[in-house]
Amino acid sequence: MFMKTVLADGQAEQQVIREMKARAAGARGDIEQIVRGVMADVQQRGWDAVVEYAERFDGKAPYIVEPKVLDDAYNACDPKLIAALEKAAANIRDYHEQMLVKTWEWNRSGGETLGQTVRGLSRVGIYVPGGTAAYPSSVLMNAIPAKVAGVGELIMVTPPTENMSNEVLAAAKIAGVDTVIAIGGTQAIAALTYGAGFIPQVDKIVGPGNAFVAAAKKLAFGTVDIDMIAGPSEVLVIADHTANPTYVAADLLSQAEHDKLASAVLLTDSMAQAQAISCEMERQAKLLPRWDIIKESVANYGCAIVFDDLKDACRMADVVAPEHLEVVTAAPRELLPYLHNAGAIFLGQYAPEPLGDYMAGPCHVLPTSGTARFFSPLSTDTFLKKTSVIEYTRDALESYAQDIIALAQSEHLDAHANSIAVRFAEENDNENR
């Protein structure tokens, strides 16, 4: 069979999980060593170091892509593509406007006012890969939630390839990116992290990249914030006997084509269905241009696991915590309460994973490699900074004064206790006279 198929027995499915985790191992030590050197050099020497690395690895010094270039790129694109990008942008914007958290205030009782101010970050950097990995959809998915969140300035960095992608530049124009800078690789992340020349320091860096970019973002964290360290793409499909094998096979292949480390896993309660889907995958895959990538991906990280009960499949899905989780069953919503860990969940045969990649509206920047157990998708929350606000009247503070003093003294923080006590000391003195 094209995709190996095993019966769940408590051991086979655990082996699949181990293999998936192994493929997502961190950056090689030699890459981290190189990146660490570049980051430290840029931090110390600034713009001169950035220019040196850019000329070595990008072939030219960094430069700002003028707005006219974005306009020309937009006009050079196929009108059908522009229409699709505009439609996707509208859906992404609508979705993220619905989830936007706003400043709030709450009067708990007499004299106690509590709240939270919610503001967009001042400046965010978006890394966009160049060459064959240039995806205009990722520009929309990273930039639009930031704009909805109220980010003050959005800077996009992308390698200065000989012919920069018109599609990527058009997406930047549609998404409202403020500045596009032609610079790639580790030097781009370092410049955004520390600030260099006309490239300002940002508050946060988001966006995908190669192993060098991922290692640089990891090292940047703490000086600036980052979105996540993304691993290889993955999809897990839970399907019963009612699922259309042609549809499920196509969905599994849509992730297997990403790269040789991508993972496509099928969980089902029907051996006949597993075999039918595997055969259909092979038929479709041989017709696709990325057949060589798909074949290796499926051979190494693809698998069908047959369970007696789909609730057991849900338990495995929760352990895997996949980036994309499709539920293609007769009643997919019945399984939803059993699914807790996934970057995005797609319900039913007409909600395939590529719908989420391009058009539905939720962001396609999702946690991978099991991190959906504790990470969330990129969204407006990614770009917001929240600050607590506390306001008390004198009477309100007095009602808690002795409790606060008792807590502070229990921790041997007498100055904390005194900060409360001094506010009522004069009144107590007057009462004692």
Q: Is 210 annotated for ligand binding?
A: yes
412 marked among binding-site residues: no
Q: Are strands 5-7 and 234-239 parallel, antiparallel or unpaired?
A: unpaired
350 annotated as a binding-site residue = no
Q: Using an 8 Å Cβ cutoff, are 286 and 249 in contact?
A: no
Q: For residue 19, how many other CB atoms are within 10 A of its CB?
A: 13
Contact criterion met (CB below 8 Å) for 282 and 2: yes
Tell the burial category of 110 from Cβ atoms under 10 Å away from its Cβ (0-12, 13-18, 19+). exposed
411 is in an annotated binding site: yes
Select from 77, 83, 216, 209 the least CA-distant residue to 134: 209
Q: 416 labelled as ligand-binding?
A: yes
As a whole number of angstroms, the distance between CA 39 and CA 195 comes to 11
Q: Please state, in angstroms and rounded to a whole number, the distance separating the CA atoms of residues 190 and 336.
A: 42
Q: Is 376 labeled as ligand-binding?
A: no
Residue among 96, 234, 280, 324 flagged as catalytic: 324
Q: Is 364 among the annotated ligand-binding positions?
A: no
| Residues 58, 183: Cα–Cα separation, whole Å | 7
DSSP letters along 181-250, please? EE--HHHHHHHHHH-BTTB---SEEE----HHHHHHHHHHBTTBEES----S-EEEEEE-TTS-HHHHHH
Q: Would you call 324 a catalytic residue per the annotation?
A: yes
Catalytic residue (choose from 323, 326, 353, 364): 323
Gap between the Cα atoms of 29 and 14, Å rounded: 28
Q: Is 98 annotated as a binding residue?
A: no
DSSP labels, 405-430: HHHHHHTT-HHHHHHHHHHHHHHHHH
Active site residue 364: no
Catalytic (active-site) positions? 323-324
Give the annotated binding-site residues. Answer: 127, 187, 210, 233, 255, 258, 324, 357, 411, 416
Give the annotated binding-site residues for NAD(+). Answer: 127, 187, 210
Give the annotated binding-site residues for substrate. Answer: 233, 255, 258, 324, 357, 411, 416
